[in-house]
Amino acid sequence: MSALAADATRGSGLSRDETRHATLNLENVVKTYTMGDQTVRALAGVSLSIRKNEYVAIMGPSGSGKSTLMNIIGCLDVPSSGSYRLEDQAVDKMSEDELADIRNLKIGFVFQTFNLVPRVNVFKNVELPLIYAGKNKAERKRIAEEAIRSVGLLDRMHHKPNELSGGQRQRVAIARALVCNPSIILADEPTGNLDSQTGVEIMALLGELHARGNTIILVTHEDDIAAHAHRVVRLRDGLIESDVRKQ
What secondary structure does DSSP assign to 14-60, as a single string?
S-HHHHHT-SEEEEEEEEEEEETTEEEEEEEEEEEEE-TT-EEEEE-
Report which secondary-structure segment, H or E, holds 96.
helix 96-106
In contact, 184 and 25? CB cutoff 8 Å: no
Q: What is the pLDDT of residues 11-26, one digit of tens each?
A: 445 555 555 568 999 9
Q: What is the pLDDT of residues 232-243, one digit of tens each?
A: 999 999 999 999
Give the integer Cα–Cα distance in Å for 132 and 60.
34
How confident is the chain (247 residues) per 10-residue block, as mean pLDDT?
37 53 92 90 96 95 92 94 94 92 93 93 96 95 96 96 95 95 93 92 94 94 93 96 90
In contact, 226 and 52? CB cutoff 8 Å: no
Q: Taking Cα atoms as reference points, which of 13, 49, 37, 34 lies closest to residue 80?
A: 34
Q: What residue spans define the domains of the chain?
A: 56-79+95-245
Supply the pLDDT for residue 209.
Answer: 92
CATH topology of domain 56-79+95-245: Rossmann fold (3.40.50)
What secondary structure does DSSP assign to 144-213, as a single string?
HHHHHHHTT-GGGTT--GGGS-HHHHHHHHHHHHHTT--SEEEEESTTTTS-HHHHHHHHHHHHHHHHTT
Neighbours of 16 (CB within 10 A): 9
Give the integer Cα–Cα distance in Å for 226 and 49.
18
